[in-house]
Structures are given as C-alpha cells and as structure tokens.
A and B are shown apart, each in its own frame.
Chain A
C-alpha cells in the first residue's frame, strides 16, 4: 500500500464521506434531522452537504423526533432510502414509539409486504461534559428490539463503510456514533474494501483473555490491552461492531482460545449488553471458562457533569487492567 492510496481522515469526515457517496450513488437517499442542513449537523457530520445536494435532499426538521423518525419510516415504506439523524440517543426516546412499534414491526405485521430500508444515525455516549441528558449509552435498549439491526462503528473504516450495507438492508438499521470518536483521526485506505454488518472483528490477537467491547470503549480497551501486554498478559480484543444481531460465534471462538472474558461496555451494568454477552458466554461456552466472566461498565448514576466525576463514572483503561489482572491471578 503506497502513501498515495491512503488519506488522512477523521471519524466525522469518514461519516460525511459515506453519506456523500450514498447520495451520489442513489437518488432515493436523503438526509433529514435537526440542524443537519444550514448548521451542518450538531456534531458537524453533514457540514457542506446542503450546499452540495440542496434542501430537497438535506432536510432540516422541526424539533420533534417522533415526527421526523415517523416520516423517515413512511418514506422508506414508500420506496425512499432515508438517513435520519437523531442528535443523541437520549432524544431518540421521544421517537421510541416510532422506532419500536412501527419501524421494527411493520415488516412483520404486514406479512412481509413492507420493507423498512431506513437508517437512523445517532450519537451516543459520554466523555464530553454534556451531562445527564446528552451522555447516556442506551444502545443496549435498542439492541433489545427484534426487527432492528444495530451497528456501532468504532473505527474509521467502519464509519466510512458501514452506511452502504446499512442502506442496502431491507430492515431498519440504527447506527450509533460515539461522541468521543468524532475527532479520532487516522489513515484510511482510499477505495478500501466493503465491510459487512454481520460480524464482530478481532482488533487485537491474544491468547490469555478475551476483551469484548464496541464503540467508544474500543480505544479504552485497546489501551488497556497494550498496558497488559507490558506485564506479559496477552489480551484479545473483540469489537462487536454489530450489537443486534450479536455475532456469538466470534466471541465463543475467542473464549474457547483464551478461557477468560471481560466485557467493557459504557452502558449501565444492570440489564446491559454486557449482561447479555455474559449470559451467552455462560450458555454457550461454560465449559471453556477458567474464571467467571467479568464486566467493566459505567457507574449506575446519571452521568455527572464535572470532568473528574464523569471520568470516574466511565470505564477507564486502568479499571480494565485491574479486572484482567485480578482474573488471571496476577498481583495488581
């Protein structure tokens, strides 16, 4: 791979390029949401798209999540390929009726007469001092719902390439963009290979313990794995990528190699995705386990505003390192 083949890009730009590519490729694709047009998106993802594609295809909506998510569902039923941006997952609760009772069920309830090729993008997660109404990680709630596909791009490549298969999917697909990742910058291969939206990915090979994570805690987990490597503990890092349906096979195969698992999930521990994965490991790989499955999750509090308290509430690399060391019986 020569230098000319790679571009330096941020996660935010990668998302924008993905939307541009989709809109250029298919005139049925359009973007709508709060402030996606003139303002360029609350997180700047759609900056410049209004000028390029015009107000017919980059549509600012009123502040009514229920209305514009519902409009997205209707237009998807009518043959369009809408991309709906919901500013944060906290606000999607206002549209939960549309997402769950309509988007997730219409294909089923119509006996397959209607597909819902809708993509809903939303920001999730904490770490930016935006406090308890803009910081939560509720993707586990959405991943609870049959009929949806739920994605969590945690790398530049996934940010750039997950949208295409998501739009091609006849089911409603939710894409969770972690707020702490927008400024992540790195090299991305231009014209790189397509990605699937079915499988988890092993981001780091290791034989001693499996660290399962996704989204905003992938960098946290990789940092922890590097630190563990310094003390001779070889951690395998799995990026789930797809939160529904979960790719059990990749997780179980890894646990069968390492015999230990820690799940790192920014969601609250109770009833979390981490809980679900832990249960599945117990169900499917119990006899492979050499230690109880462990979890590193967010503290069960509304997300604090002060930076030091927010930091304390979130999964940090040192907590992951400590959990792994305790698990393998190393002196902490």
Chain B
C-alpha cells in the first residue's frame, strides 16, 4: 500500500515529543552502557540525529513500538562508541560517584547492583537494560537487539544468574 509522504513539520513535532519523552531513558541506558556521563550525552545526541535521519524508515515500516526502536538505535550507537575505543579504562564506580546528586535516596546495596549491571558483559547488559530496566517485552527486546526471543530468553537467564547474588540478597518486596 502506498503511503503519503509525511510533511516535515509533523516529523519535527514527533521528534520533539520523543525528545521530551525519551531523552532521559536513552541517556540512562547509554550511561549504564558506557559508564561515562559525557559519552552518554554524546550518544544520546547521536541517537536523536540517527532517529531523525531514519524517521522515514520508521514511518514506512509502520513500526509499532517507538521506544523499542529508539532504544535499538541507542544501543547500537553505544556499541559503536565502545568499539571505537576512543575511551577505555573507565572507572565505573568513579563514573557513578561523579553523577549529579541523587534526587532520591540510594541504599548502599543498590550502588552495588548498579555496578554489577554496568560490569556485565555487553550481551547480558543489553537484555537487562531493555527487558527489566526499560520494561520492554521479550519480543520487543528481541526486536530491539535484532535477535530471537529464544536468544533473549537464554541471555536473560544467564544475566540473572550473574546478578543473582545481589538480586536475591536483601530484596525488599511485598508479597
């Protein structure tokens, strides 16, 4: 079915809404991935540039979940940053310590869990970030990572195992 070309003003409104709605989510995902605030901000900017550039693809393909699509771009951007090796030897704890002051209280154990997530191998960090942190479904996570649901399932299981000591320790929840 032929689709009418989307006027650029409507695209700009959409991008503007996305930037307002998803910039913090993307920035947080990029920070956990890159362990560097400045790099995370750059990656967030690059994500928006790519999103704008490929807006026509988004429209033409009728992609249902914009957040998953944007997070996919963000993850791929971060992978490029990591591969580019322009920055290495990042001290993750220092990166966390240098973040702006918390707006909510952080329990010491939570600090440990965040570090553990940041130190996960990329393939496991990706699924944790998308599935648990960003709340995507299994299918959306698979789509965002360009892999199968069964692969996401296996990686989640391994990631949960790697985090298990922290996740099962002192968990506060209401039954």
- A, B assembled together: no
> B residues engaging A (CB < 8 A)?
none
